[in-house]
Amino acid sequence: MLKYIDVANRIESTIKEQKLAQGTKLPSLMNLCEQYQVSKTTMVKALASLEQQGVIFQVQGSGIFVRLQKRPGFISLTTNSGFTHDLSGYKITSKTLELTTVTATSDLQEKFECPSDEPFYFLKRLRYIDDQVLCIENSYFRQKLIPYLNREIVEDSVFGYIQKALNLKIGFSDKFLRANTLNTEDAELLSLPPKSPGFFLDELFYSNSGVPFDLSQNVYNFKHAKFFMQSINK
Amino acid sequence: MLKYIDVANRIESTIKEQKLAQGTKLPSLMNLCEQYQVSKTTMVKALASLEQQGVIFQVQGSGIFVRLQKRPGFISLTTNSGFTHDLSGYKITSKTLELTTVTATSDLQEKFECPSDEPFYFLKRLRYIDDQVLCIENSYFRQKLIPYLNREIVEDSVFGYIQKALNLKIGFSDKFLRANTLNTEDAELLSLPPKSPGFFLDELFYSNSGVPFDLSQNVYNFKHAKFFMQSINK
DNA sequence: AAGTGGTCTAGACCACATG
DNA sequence: ATGTGGTCTAGACCACTTT
């Protein structure tokens, strides 16, 4: 475990355990260095990481302060931990509707920069929050990188499997967001009246070496899905 | 100008001028250090900043690569430069509908942690893209921090005025996103049929010392507004 | 003036990828 | 084995805020 990550985690845990309010002042930089027995540079890096995550904010010449991070009921777009983590406290379940092999559509060809005969796993599932439909997930996994998938893996955690069994590390992702009217099929799946609005979130995931391996096209129930993100202007 | 920011800007400019494609390999770290005459640590910091912005991605043991950043027609949620910047190439205009002084509603009291008699400027305006309505902006500026506003300032750039004339620096912001059915008034303002979907984006801006000073509640026309964000999983 | 966060450096060492 | 990115350190110096 890297030192600055470890220190960052420990500071974050302390903040959460003590339930410090937004704006609470933390000990000074040099003070924290002594407390955690690391150099100034390492502490600066740990704090920069926490600031990026929205856990704290730093004011030059003044101090280090707690920033309110979690908003109960909101799905975080910043932290990529998946909404099972964001929505802890709610009952999250899922149902697999389809798991098949398909070849690249024109959309996939463009997004993955691949030929039309490249094979993908297509996974369609519903995700529920407290037994109400939260979203429809349409995922395309590139078989070049994910050579095998089955229903068991999918019922558990695809990303967990990808990282542990295949040792494929997630590097970064692009997200595309918009609203639109639901089509008949999606409205029905989401248990909503025809022509209800939908929140559309497309995510393209890249490995740590920059190769795209998963496109997820998600349609969220507007009544249950609210999103949240934090940014810093530096 | 800080050295690492300067170096980062220069590298970014080079990438854009040369129109390097996604995946193009840049010179090695040490190579870049020599080229820009900075220490390794400073270059690491410059590159970390570019990686965070989505301009490049780094692969340990392998190299530094260009990441495709801008998606034409999409509004970036990551870079806080405002959509006039994201949508360069389109004609962006605006029309002020209302500029009045109000006292804190219960929503404002909660978000700003302020008493009910605290005064705010309320600004309502429409923003157009190529002469079509893109969004309705409802902004509340805290008079404690922004003591004066008039129509002239508002027609120009509120954030430019805040930063230059008032020397108030933007520190960070919280964003809340959801879809919903438009009410009659908003649908009419957006030139959309009744009960069309709308993309709702609320933004709460904080000063660099952590004081919230602006709440913007924005309703976007789902036909013209598409959003984009990049994240890294490290 | 004192205290606090932020930048920058040189250099040692570590971790990963590629040939 | 070599090269590449990444971490960590001690310490000098800078910029901003508070008293």
In the predicted model, what is the mean pLDDT of residues A83-105? 87
> From CA A56, how far away is CA B152, in angstroms rounded?
36
| A35, pLDDT greater than 90 | yes
The answer to whether the Cβ–Cβ distance between B209 and A180 falls below 8 Å is no
Q: Å between A25 CA and C11 C1'?
A: 35
Which residue from B127, B99, B121 is spatially nearest to B108, judged by alpha carbons?
Answer: B121
Q: For residues B112 and B114, what is the distance between their CA atoms, to the nearest angstrom?
A: 5
Query: What's the pLDDT score for residue A89?
Result: 76
Q: In this predicted model, what pLDDT tens digit does every residue of A153-209 receive, in sequence order?
A: 998 888 889 988 888 999 999 999 999 999 999 999 999 999 999 999 999 999 999
pLDDT at A207: 95
DSSP designation for A77: S
Whether CB of A61 is under 7 Å from strand D: the answer is yes
Nearest to A134 by CA among A172, A94, A178: A94
8 A C-beta contact, residue B153 and residue B161: yes
Say whether B71 sits in a helix, a strand or coil: coil
A60 touches strand D (CB under 7 A): yes
Residue B81, pLDDT score: 66
Neighbours of B148 (CB within 10 A): 10
Nucleic strand D within 7 A of Cβ A41? yes
The nucleotide lying nearest B167 (C-alpha to C1') is D16
What does the pLDDT read at residue A142?
96
Q: Could you tell me the pLDDT band of residue A96, with boundaries at 50, 70 and 90?
A: very high
The answer to whether the Cα torsion of B190, B192, B194, B199 is positive or negative is negative
Q: Residue A181 CA to chain centroid, in angstroms?
A: 25
pLDDT value of residue A73: 86
Residue that wins the pLDDT comparison between A34 and A71: A34
Q: Give me the average pLDDT of each 10-residue run along chain B (234 residues).
A: 95 95 95 96 96 95 91 84 72 93 95 94 94 95 94 89 88 96 97 97 95 97 95 85
What pLDDT score was predicted for residue A155? Answer: 87
| pLDDT tens figures, A75-87 | 999 876 667 676 7
Confirm if A145 and A213 have CB atoms less than 8 A apart. yes
User: What residues of chain B lie within 8 A of the CB of A78, using their CB?
Assistant: 231
Inter-chain touch B59–A209, beta carbons under 8 Å:
yes
> Does B74 sit within 8 Å of A176, measured CB to CB?
yes
Burial of B232 (0-12, 13-18, 19+ CB in 10 A): buried
The distance of B22 to chain A (nearest Cα, Å) reads 9
Structure tokens at B2: 């800080």
3-state SS assignment for residue A39: coil
> Structure pTM?
0.94
> CB A174 to CB B225 under 8 A?
no
A64 touches strand C (CB under 7 A): yes
pLDDT at A81 (0 to 100): 66
Whether residue A98 is predicted with pLDDT greater than 70 in this model: the reply is yes
Q: How far apart are CA B52 and CA B46, in angstroms?
A: 10
Q: Residue A222: which of B59, B178, B208 has the nearest Cβ? A: B178
Fill in the amino acid letter for B15.
I
One-letter-per-residue 3-state SS of B153-222: HHHCCHHHHHHHCCCCCEEEEEEEEEEEECCHHHHHHCCCCCCCEEEEEEEEEEECCCCEEEEEEEEEEC
First to last CA, chain B: 28
